[in-house]
Every structure is written in structure tokens, then in C-alpha cells.
Structure 1
């Protein structure tokens, strides 16, 4: 099976390509570095030509109110090219709880991406993942101040990027869901406790201060970023840290 992986050189995309090729498929990575600009539309037709499946793992360069324009343009271009090429299955990666945090510009943008796919001309699958373990350092850096890191107690269900990639690859070679598959890590932590665990395991002496107003996740109410009914990945956060 020929599979075009758009955004195929990034954290998730590179592993999706590796997994698919190891399984005997022909997965081809495409990105700006290979001459594919999904916003301008340059190289998009060539990238999807002959592909039975398109996996779109591109991401907005910003998380602010400019992100909807990225997803609108990129999906318009990719869906038009996929329809023209006769693509049989179009897959995107989204976020668990994306429809339940309207306060965040980026989440509204990802929800727009989902809606464009649903209304589009190609059978589709949406994989929604919980927060990546690899993003914990970035989340702490947003609110780090000297010897402390401020974090809210937002419930988080961290999943390893390798497990996300495995799930995306699995969905890509299956029949279109024409719906959503939620995937998540095996454990749920309050974000502030996750920060303390991370710093402790790394020998970092900084203190985590619980602050319900700190950082992007302060806008999240309740446990909407977790899903106990999701397909659970095997990697535990403590093992990943080790």
C-alpha cells in the first residue's frame, strides 16, 4: 500500500513512516524540507499522487489565533488534491478533549481541521491522542521562573510519541473509521504532580508551585483531556522517564 505521510519528518511522522515501511508498505514522507508547502499548495498534488492513503501530521507553527488559517488552507489544499488523486483514506491526528476547551485558539483550530475532514470528499479517520510525554518539558518551560515552575492541577494522561505513531500507523492501514479513535496513556496525573515527578527523576532541584492560573492548561476545566475509555497505550510515564 502506498501511503503519503504529510509532515512525515517530524516527531510523530518520522516514526509513522518507519512503522509503515517496516510492515511492508510504501510510506513516503513529505514536508517543507521535501518541497511540499501545504499552505501555499506547492508540491501537494505530487505528494499525494498514487497514494491510497494520506496521513496528515502537519501542524500550525503557532498556537495562537493564526492557527485556524493554517488548518483551513492546508486542509483545503490536501483534500482537493486527495480527491483528484482518488485517495481512499485520509487520516489526521488530533487531541482528546479538543471539542471541550473552546477557550484555547489552538484547540478551536484543531476542531476546525476535524470538521473540514468530516465534510470533505474522502473517507477518513481521526485519531485523537492525549498529551505527549515529550511535551512535558515545554509545558514546564512556559511558566518556569528562577527556582520554581508554576503548574495547574489539570488532569493529564500522558502518552509516548512512539505509541501515538504506532496507533496512527495501525489506523492508516485499516478501513476508514469515518469517525474518531481516542488513544491515551495508561495513567492519569495532575499536571503539577507530573511536574514534580519529572523534576525529581531528572535530579532537578526546582520546586513546582500549584497555580490554577499558570500556562495554557489553566484554561482547561475538569478532566476533559483524559479518557479512561480510550485505547490505552502500554508505555507508563515513569518507565519513559527512566
Structure 2
């Protein structure tokens, strides 16, 4: 089996969009004390798909959400010529070939995003060729059960967050993750807003559950050192 062709396509949402509410989640731009639309660089209105076809007719599909037009260009220009003609079962060799050939400008960021899309498509091919889910090819099951947690709870009105948390409790979750909405640029008032929401959600989920708190790259070291003691039960 040999890889015969690679096709990349960018899909973009052209319908109506609703901007996120203010302070619904911190992000890396908050460290700049930017009071504009800090979430502008974190919206996913475009997506790139990578379809790899083999000479046996199997098509594997990979994807990338980050900078889809750029990741498409990287695959079309740099990665596709290195992949076409290869045996997808030589997946480790292919990955190393892509990674090492892009050392000068890759190794992280958008270079790795593009490599990941190709790699996902190759694993999709292997799963289809073997007639097995990919996790079986990666070693199979290691546990009888896997614990999961409810991961949403973006910052918003306290009553809304409590109602949302209650729906997860009713579904049987015992672990939860919520998002902070305020960071360094918001000063003492933002600290209080964060703490009030943590207390409100904790009131709903109880003391004997795991509550994870996500600041999503939006805190600097000084702010984190200030907040952590305040969050200790």
C-alpha cells in the first residue's frame, strides 16, 4: 500500500456569528492588559481537512483548526511531496521525515499543526486498513473504565453557572472544570469576580468533588501567586 495523493481543503463559516460575552474566559492576550477584543485570535470559524488517498482506495482524513489557510499551504508546499509514494505503515519514518525536514522553521507552532493533520490522516488509513479502531493500533485498552469530567462552565452570570453545574451533577459527574473570566488587567475587582464564581460553583457541586480551574494562559506569575492562596479551601 502506497500513498497516492493528498488533498487539503479549508472550510470557513460564512453565517452569522455571535461574539463571546465579556470576561467569559481569560486568554493569553490578557497578560498584555489589552482591553480590546482579546478573544479575536481564539475563534475557530475556519477548519482545514487533509485527505490522504492510497493506491488501494483507502482515504484517511486529518484536520487542523489553527490557522487553517497557513497549515494548508505548509502541507501543499512542503509536506505533501515528502509523503506521496510512502507506505503509510512506515508512519514513524514518515513523521520523522516531516519533522526533520522542517527543523529550520517548524518544531512547534504552525509547523507541528500541519504535521499533526497529516499524521492523523495516516493513522486513519491504518485503522481502516486493519479494520480496527486506532486506539487498538496504539496499544489497546489499558483500563476497564476511564474517569471523565464535565468541561465547560465558562464565566458568566453566577446563577447561570450554578444552573449549568447542576445539570452536570444531575448527569452523574463528580469532576468539573470551570473557566476564570478575569485576569491581571482586571485588578482587585476581577479577583473578587473570580472568587465569587468559584464559591458559587463549589456550592452546587459540593466539597467532595474535584473542581478544576482554567485560566487558559491568561495569568502571569505574579497574579497566579496572588490568586492561589485565595483559592485554597
TM-score range, shorter chain: under 0.3
Higher relative contact order (CA 8 A, sep 6+): 2
TM-score between the two structures when normalised by the length of structure 2: 0.28
Higher-Rg structure is 2
TM-score between the two structures when normalised by the length of structure 1: 0.27
